[in-house]
């Protein structure tokens, strides 16, 4: 949730929130004291990674398929140039050394966004607190596997971080030690290693350890093959008939996590850690409450979208915050090391996470352990896969289409009114791998039309698409080169042309920038736009009311041809307004419910322009500004709206203002 402010309605709440941050464990950010990726050697002496796994398997008597399966679930066999993950994990085996990545920046520490996004109950900003840095003893075992691997192998910690051969050997040593501790033989049969794999996850509860082991065995059964970020081709042959011995978990002494009444698929580990719904008094003696609103979805309102966030903080600290009654909320948090899920708010209730009350009232929020401005602090495959399982489950349950107009990043959520645009969040940012995520969802992006389909689906090759960004440290600092899901758009079909301007973000007409938090001139993987023009290797799409050009060579396309339905201004209209929320007309409001203005943004759709439709929705407003739910009410009007891909963010247009046509017509 980069750029967010967790707003609280009183000084008392700010004090509580700060104290909670101070008491929480320190948060993680990238590479404090760790070797920079540019100076790391991804492979030892040029050795092929496949041979590295074979050698470690022979030396430590761990089946090669077990090593490959565990490594794939952690890193997809990537070395990441010796850079740490979001939880201080290094190399193909994700050996963790969290002390190299402890930080002082609290979650939601920057920006102007009101996370609730409703003027009927505005939330003033908190005073940011600096969390305490935890001691070594306070760190859980799952964040200290690299020092343990160093003890077992005798290899220096720096070598385990930066040399893949050493890293794989360290992972093999950990698995062998876990197998011996369980009193099991160093068998050549991978089926005998279920308990050791579960132990490797570092999970402290039985359900999470089992889920992790089951996922590793799913990888082994299915097999995998890919070329790593270091150019190494690795193959894990499938073993479809492989069985497991889950009974090994019983002797491991792990706690029984209380799942409660969680809303998760059976294939993930999920526990109930509730966000509080409490009423209290502010310093003036007035009633106040937080940190979400009770509702009755989907009976009262449909759930139309799922919002992907990153936490900008470490698991334990973020959990402390969501349990603070004076803080904000979201439905789920996902852990990096093993993909474990905590649910905090029921899907029927409205969490305060998106900064747009209309979106909050119609969405579910997922927070992932991660950092927007840290390209090298990579997300683990375990978390990607668990998140995809959860999203597929929720999408099926609430009939949510699996596309990029319904599975949104927080950075795709529009401001409610003009004054809120500049403060909206920009997470999970350009380093979230949307193509891989949608492949896991079973909906990879691919060409669906010929060259005259009229639309394009943005789909650059993630690892090869490495645009330059600034702002990962100080504002002028250049970010480490890294794969990206984003593509920049220009005013003309040339690399040195100015970037597209966003008059909502910069009313003065200044150009957009290459800052990692600036989404004013950015397309994101999976988003669809109407083609406005083509010229050589360049394609133009309609974007923020303008022709926006991006490089799209035929031999290495950054977007794929598609077709579908678009909106364009109705006959005779020169322009139509774009809105940040789909609110009802004033006549729909009953007595006692304050009318919410249907306030257009500074954006327009001009005659001749086309924008891709994501949905058609009624104007709705959920009135819920009191702790007592008796006065809560859903106001539904007669006006209908289309949800459109307007710029990097979605927008809303009144159905009465536009006509719907097939793309390419």
- Asked if residue 278 belongs to a domain, the reply is no
Residue 614 in domain: yes
603 in any annotated domain: yes
Inform me whether the pLDDT recorded for 640 exceeds 50. yes
Q: Is 497 helix (H, G, I), strand (E, B) or coil?
A: coil
d(CA 50, CA 234): 6
pLDDT in tens, 447-473: 999 999 999 999 999 999 999 999 988
Do the domain assignments include residue 654?
A: yes
Which residue, among 505, 508, 502, has the nearest Cα to 544 in the 3D structure? 502
Tally of domains in the chain:
1
- How far apart (Å, rounded) are the C-alpha atoms in residues 432 and 542? 24
The pLDDT of residue 50 is above 80: yes
* Residue 197 structure tokens: 């794999």
Residues 6+ apart with CB under 8 A from 197: 66, 69, 70, 175, 212, 213, 216, 217
Give per-residue pLDDT as tens, 90-132.
999 999 997 755 543 334 444 567 788 887 776 655 444 434 4
Mean pLDDT value across residues 581-609: 97
Residue 658: give the domain boundaries: 569-662
- What does the pLDDT average to over 638-664? 97
> Higher pLDDT residue, 325 or 504?
504
Q: Report the percentage of the chain scoring pLDDT > 90.
A: 73
pLDDT higher than threshold 50 for residue 155: yes
Q: How confident is the model at residue 38 (pLDDT cuts 50, 70, 90)?
A: very low
> Would you say residue 27 has pLDDT above 90?
no
Q: Can you point out the beta strands (E) in 464-592?
A: 486-488, 522-524, 528-535, 538-543, 546-551, 559-562, 565-569, 575-579
CA distances (Å), origin 216, targets 65, 186, 645? 10, 18, 38
Residue 232 pLDDT = 94
Taking a C-beta distance cutoff of 8 angstroms, is the pair 517, 478 a contact?
A: no
Q: Could you tell me if residue 624 is inside a domain?
A: yes
Average pLDDT of the residues in 470-490? 92
Q: Is the pLDDT of residue 7 over 50?
A: no
* pLDDT confidence bin for 315, thresholds 50/70/90: confident
DSSP calls for 142-167: GG-HHHHHHHHH---HHHHHH-HHHH
Whether the CB-CB separation of 236 and 72 falls below 8 Å is answered with yes
Instruction: Quickly state the pLDDT bin for 29 (edges 50, 70, 90).
Output: very low
Indicate the range of 92-106, 200-214, 491-505, 541-555 predicted with least confidence: 92-106
**Rg of the Cα trace of the chain?**
25
pLDDT tens, residue by residue, 378-401: 899 999 999 999 999 999 999 999
Say if 635 falls within a structural domain: yes
In this prediction, residue 313 carries a pLDDT of: 81
pLDDT for 8 equals 31
DSSP assignment string, 575-619: EEEEESS-PPPGGGPPTTSPPPP--EEEEEEETT--EEEEEEEEE
pLDDT at 73 over 80: yes
Short-list 14, 9, 260, 3, CA closest to 129: 14
pLDDT in tens, 332-391: 999 999 999 999 999 999 999 999 999 999 999 999 998 888 887 889 999 999 999 999
Give the pLDDT score at 124: 52
Rounded CA-CA distance 601/493 in Å is 28
Residue 98 inside a domain? The answer is no
Q: What is the mean pLDDT of residues 644-662?
A: 98
Distance CA 202, CA 208 (A): 9
User: In terms of C-beta density within 10 A (0-12 exposed, 13-18 middle, 19 or more buried), how is residue 321 classed?
Assistant: buried
When pLDDT is averaged across residues 296-315 and rounded to a whole number, the result is 94
Position 135 confidence tier, pLDDT thresholds 50, 70, 90: low
Specify the pLDDT at position 47: 55
Say if 73 falls within a structural domain. Answer: no
Strands (DSSP E) along 429-468, which ranges? Answer: 455-458
Residue 108 and residue 21 in contact, taking contact as beta carbons nearer than 8 Å: no
Please give the residue that has the higher pLDDT: either 103 or 194.
Answer: 194
Q: What is the predicted pLDDT for the residue at 19?
A: 32
């Amino acid at each position: 949730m980069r750029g967010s402010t967790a707003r609280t309605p009183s000084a008392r709440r700010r004090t509580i929130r700060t104290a909670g941050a101070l008491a929480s464990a320190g948060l993680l950010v990238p590479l404090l004291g760790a070797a920079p990726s540019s100076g790391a050697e991804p492979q030892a002496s040029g050795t092929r990674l496949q041979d590295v796994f074979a050698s470690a398997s022979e030396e430590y008597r761990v089946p090669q398929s077990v090593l490959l399966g565990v490594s794939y679930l952690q890193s997809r066999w990537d070395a990441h140039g010796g850079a740490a993950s979001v939880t201080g994990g290094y190399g193909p085996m994700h050996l963790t050394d969290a002390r190299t990545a402890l930080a002082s920046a609290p979650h939601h520490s920057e920006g102007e966004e009101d996370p609730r996004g409703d003027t009927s109950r505005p939330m003033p900003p908190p005073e940011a607190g600096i969390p305490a840095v935890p001691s070594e003893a306070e760190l859980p075992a799952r964040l200290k596997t690299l020092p343990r691997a160093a003890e077992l192998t005798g290899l220096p910690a720096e070598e385990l971080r930066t040399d893949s051969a050493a890293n794989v050997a360290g992972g093999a040593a950990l698995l062998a030690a876990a197998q011996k501790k369980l009193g099991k033989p160093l068998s050549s049969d991978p089926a005998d290693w279920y308990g050791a794999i579960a132990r490797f996850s570092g999970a402290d509860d039985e359900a999470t350890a089992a889920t992790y082991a089951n996922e590793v065995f799913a990888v082994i059964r299915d097999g995998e093959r890919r070329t790593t970020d270091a150019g190494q081709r690795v193959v894990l042959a499938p073993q479809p008939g492989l069985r497991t011995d889950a009974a090994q978990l019983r002797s491991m002494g792990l706690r029984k996590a209380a799942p409660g009444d969680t809303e998760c698929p059976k294939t993930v580990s999920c526990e109930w850690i509730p966000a509080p719904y409490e009423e209290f008094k502010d310093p003036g003696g007035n009633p106040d409450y937080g940190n979400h609103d009770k509702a009755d979805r989907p009976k009262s309102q449909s759930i139309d979208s799922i919002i992907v966030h990153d936490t900008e903080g470490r698991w334990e600290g973020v959990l402390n915050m969501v349990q603070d009654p004076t803080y904000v909320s979201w439905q789920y948090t996902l852990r990096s090391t093993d993909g474990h899920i905590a649910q905090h708010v029921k899907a029927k209730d409205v969490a305060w996470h998106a900064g747009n009350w209309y979106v909050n009232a119609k969405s579910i929020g997922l927070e992932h352990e991660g950092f927007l401005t840290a390209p090298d602090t990579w997300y683990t495959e375990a978390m990607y896969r668990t998140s995809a399982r959860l999203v597929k489950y929720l999408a099926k349950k609430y009939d949510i289409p699996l596309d990029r107009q319904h599975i949104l990043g927080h950075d795709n959520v529009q401001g409610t009114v003009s004054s809120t645009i500049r403060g909206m969040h920009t997470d999970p940012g350009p380093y979230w791998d949307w193509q891989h995520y949608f492949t896991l969802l079973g909906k990879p992006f691919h060409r669906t039309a010929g060259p005259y389909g009229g639309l394009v689906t943005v789909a650059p090759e993630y690892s090869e698409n490495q645009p330059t960004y600034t702002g990962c440290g100080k504002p002028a600092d250049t970010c480490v080169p890294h794969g990206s899901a984003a593509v920049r758009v220009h005013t003309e079909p040339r690399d040195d042309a100015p970037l597209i301007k966003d008059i909502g973000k910069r009313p003065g007409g200044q150009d957009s920038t290459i800052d990692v938090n600036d989404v004013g001139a950015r397309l994101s993987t999976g988003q669809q736009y109407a083609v406005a023009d083509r010229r050589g290797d360049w394609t133009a799409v309609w974007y923020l009311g303008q022709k926006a050009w991006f490089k799209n060579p035929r031999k290495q396309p950054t977007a794929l041809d598609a077709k579908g339905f678009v909106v364009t201004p109705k006959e005779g209209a020169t322009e139509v307004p774009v809105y940040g929320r789909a609110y009802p007309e004033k006549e729909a409001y009953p007595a006692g419910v304050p009318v919410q203005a249907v306030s257009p943004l500074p954006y327009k759709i001009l005659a001749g322009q086309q924008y891709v439709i994501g949905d058609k929705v009624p104007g709705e407003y959920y009135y819920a500004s009191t702790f007592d739910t008796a006065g809560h009410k859903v106001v539904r009007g007669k006006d209908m709206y289309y949800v459109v891909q307007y710029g990097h963010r979605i927008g809303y247009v009144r159905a009465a203002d536009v006509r719907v046509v097939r793309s390419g017509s």
